[in-house]
């Protein structure tokens, strides 16, 4: 992970945007969820505006929006930075994500156009290729875009806002270190895409809920205290590295 925003144009944005502020907000969420901007990284407004070819005003507005959502935090005389993740309460987050994202997948199944399904297939292929290369940042970016496409096509704006806030609280870096998680995610994405291509609401909801349940199992089995967890946690928590074997 890098401490800078890096090149602004790394592939297409995840969905159509209405305003410059929303475009900047989408790009910032991508950079945070993908790990391109790690927890604690400062958001340099002028550099970000220059990278995106946008004035500073929508960048400031987007930063305020992401502070409200929980992705960023501000300190006086320092500015905004990526919020550190609190790993408490993940059981609840998994539970609520499963209910809400499953419902969004159900709603999206009857609304996605052929063009949407083509984009979804391309994002799934992109994730698979990134995973084979071992490029965690690119894979997490493709994963976010895939999920976001499903959420947006459900056309449930209030639920989308809640899901955005839940993703801000989730330790996406954790699953980079769970053995076999990438391969399972590939299979689970394929099941979701197949259900959506079949325009099967119940199948889409079941596939997405199974995907989240699988991630929950992997997290609590590997990271949260069972065999192998110390090794994984030592990679996530610098304070443990000097004591972990």
Give the pLDDT confidence score for residue 238 in this predicted structure.
Answer: 38
Q: Is 142 exposed, middle or buried (0-12, 13-18, 19+ CB in 10 A)?
A: buried
Give the pLDDT confidence score for residue 16 in this predicted structure.
Answer: 52
Give the separation between CA 77 and CA 183, rounded to whole angstroms: 44
Give the pLDDT confidence score for residue 94 in this predicted structure.
Answer: 94
Query: Rounded to two decimals, what is the model's pTM?
Result: 0.79
CATH 1.10.10.10 fits 20-82, yes or no: yes
Which ranges of the chain have pLDDT less than 50? 1-15, 226-245
Cα 189 to Cα 9, 96, 195, 236: the distances in Å are 25, 19, 10, 25
- CATH number (1.20.1050.10, 1.10.150.20, 1.20.120.530, 3.10.450.50) of 90-239 reads 1.20.120.530
Give the pLDDT confidence score for residue 170 in this predicted structure.
Answer: 84
Q: What angle do CA 164, 14, 5 make, to 5 degrees?
A: 80
Q: For the chain, give every residue range classified as CATH 1.10.10.10.
A: 20-82
Q: For the chain, give every residue range classified as CATH 1.20.120.530.
A: 90-239
Instruction: Choose among 154, 205, 168, 202: nearest CA to 93.
Output: 168
Give the pLDDT confidence score for residue 13 in this predicted structure.
Answer: 46
Give the pLDDT confidence score for residue 162 in this predicted structure.
Answer: 94
């Amino acid at each position: 992970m890098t401490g800078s925003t890096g090149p602004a144009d790394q592939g297409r944005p995840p969905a159509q945007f209405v305003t410059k502020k929303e475009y900047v907000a989408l790009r910032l969420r991508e950079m945070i969820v993908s790990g391109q901007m790690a927890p604690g990284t400062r958001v340099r407004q002028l550099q970000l505006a220059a990278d995106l070819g946008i004035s500073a005003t929508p960048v400031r507005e987007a930063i305020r929006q992401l502070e409200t959502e929980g992705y960023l935090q501000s300190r006086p005389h320092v500015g905004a930075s990526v919020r550190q993740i609190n790993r408490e309460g993940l059981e609840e987050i998994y539970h609520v994500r499963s209910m809400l994202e499953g419902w969004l997948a159900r709603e999206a199944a009857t609304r996605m156009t052929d063009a949407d399904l083509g984009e979804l297939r391309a994002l799934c292929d992109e994730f698979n290729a990134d995973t084979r290369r071992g490029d965690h940042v690119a894979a997490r970016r493709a994963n976010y875009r895939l999920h976001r496409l499903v959420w947006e096509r459900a056309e449930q704006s209030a639920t989308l806002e809640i899901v955005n806030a839940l993703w801000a609280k989730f330790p996406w870096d954790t699953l980079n270190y769970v053995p076999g998680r990438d391969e399972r995610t590939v299979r689970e994405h394929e099941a979701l895409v197949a259900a959506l291509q079949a325009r099967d609401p119940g199948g889409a909801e079941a596939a997405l809920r199974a995907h989240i349940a699988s991630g929950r199992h992997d997290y609590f089995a590997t990271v949260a205290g069972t065999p192998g967890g110390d090794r994984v946690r030592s990679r996530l928590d610098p304070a443990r590295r000097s004591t972990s074997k």
